[in-house]
Amino acid sequence: MSGLDEANPKIMCVSHIKDVDGCVSAALIKHVTKSHFLLASYGNLNDCLRSIRTSYSSVYVCDLGINETMIKEFERIRQFAELIYIDHHPIDLAVLKAIQKIGVKVVHGRLDCAGVLTYNLFERDFPRGAGLLAAYAAVSDRLENGPLAKKLLREYDRDFVLFETMMLTYAIEKASIDYKKKLVPKLSRLEYPHQIPDVMKLALEQAERVATMRRELPERSKRIGNLCYAEAQGDSLGTIANLLIEVCGAEIGVGYDNNKQKQITDLSIRGAANLKTDLGKKAAKLAKKFSGTGGGHRKSSGARIPTSKLLEFIRALNH
């Protein structure tokens, strides 16, 4: 999954494949350092880290929450490269201390997205257009009120930022992995999303998918108490979870996807504006109880559990 145009063979960036924030972070790092990049999901993050060879001297990891299972690979990488970790997901204090102890440079903030943190780290080295990329990340991650994002967004025309952000957000939700690998270098060259081939087409297709889901989800979702859940049909789990809250009037929306071969289920969990429960903490606790992993933010979290535990997990989440 690497992008190979005119890249510096000694610098690697591993970033989140899922959304605008992850792709923008990779694009910004690539812009400044000419790095290679790998786009990872939580499912293959450790495999991606393991694939980083000793020929690299700098490794960036962006927009990917880490837990104790990744420390081993961080330690291995630290034997031959500097490692810079840029993220905004909640991190366990013991994990943070462990990676700092082995000399990982940690750029972590809970209130700004990874794209904005990355932009801030290299601000002097970026032309003006790069700030736009960080602005897309902030809006798309719903962190435009972050202390750094707020300042940044004041500098750009709001309508243009919102337009480009939403085209990019919807396009990335619809795009294949291969498309995203081509998209990141284009973003790193500061091309406007709407001018990048197929962004508008993909965004429109995604808008149509959302329209279809709005119509279908009330019928094909299931409800337990104030929680609604539905299986993905190739759509982003987060989108489904958010839509369930709106179109089914749920307090908690859950989109899930079963990997039939591995008997593993991925879930995205979203909370309504008035929900008091911390879904990040709850997902972490319950996933652990059901032999999986989970975590995230207060109103937006995720988990990966054995498929056999799906119903039990959902029932416990409703409690």
- Given the rule CB under 5 A, which residues bind Mn ion? 21, 63, 113-114, 141
Cβ proximity to Mn ion, 43 vs 197, nearer residue: 43
Residue 238 φ then ψ, to 5°:
-65, -40
Which residues are registered as beta bridge partners of 36?
12
Please report how close the Cβ of residue 140 comes to Mn ion at its closest, in angstroms.
Answer: 8
Q: Min. distance of Cβ 117 from Mn ion in angstroms? A: 9
Closest approach of Mn ion to the CB of residue 305, in Å = 22
Structure letter (DSSP) for residue 121: H
To Mn ion, the closest distance from the beta carbon of 132 in angstroms equals 17
Name which of 122 and 290 has its Cβ closer to Mn ion.
Answer: 122
Q: Which is nearer to Mn ion, 184 or 248 (CB)?
A: 184
Nearer to Mn ion, 73 or 141 (CB): 141
Give the span between the Cα atoms of 298 and 289, in whole angstroms. Answer: 19
From residue 133, how far is each of 2, 20, 160, 165 by CA, in Å? 20, 9, 12, 9
HSE-up (13 A, CA, CB side) for residue 10: 6
| Nearest CB to Mn ion, comparing residues 52 and 114 | 114
CB of 263 to Mn ion, least distance (A): 29
Contacts of 226 (CB under 8 A, 6+ apart): 250, 251, 252, 318
Q: 272, exposed or middle or buried, with CB in 10 Å at 0-12, 13-18, 19+?
A: middle
Please say which residue, 21 or 173, places its beta carbon nearer to Mn ion. 21
Minimal distance, residue 226 CB to Mn ion, in Å:
27
In the complex, what is the shortest distance from the CB of residue 238 to Mn ion, in angstroms, rounded to a whole number?
A: 11
Nearer to Mn ion, 96 or 111 (CB): 111
The DSSP result for 34-73, as a single string, is --EEEEE-TTTHHHHHHT--TT-SEEEEES----GGGHHH
**Which of residues 134 and 217 has its CB atom nearest to Mn ion in the complex?**
134
How far apart (Å, rounded) are the C-alpha atoms in residues 196 and 168? 10
Structure tokens that stand for 303 in this block: 């988990």
Cα 217 from Cα 108, distance rounded (Å): 37
Contact status, residue 304 vs residue 42, Cβ threshold 8 Å = yes
Minimum gap (Å) between residue 90 Cβ and Mn ion: 12
**Residues 6 or more apart in contact with residue 164 via CB below 8 angstroms:** 132, 136, 192, 193, 194
- Residue closest to Mn ion, measured at CB: 21
Cα torsion 7, 12, 16, 20: sign: negative
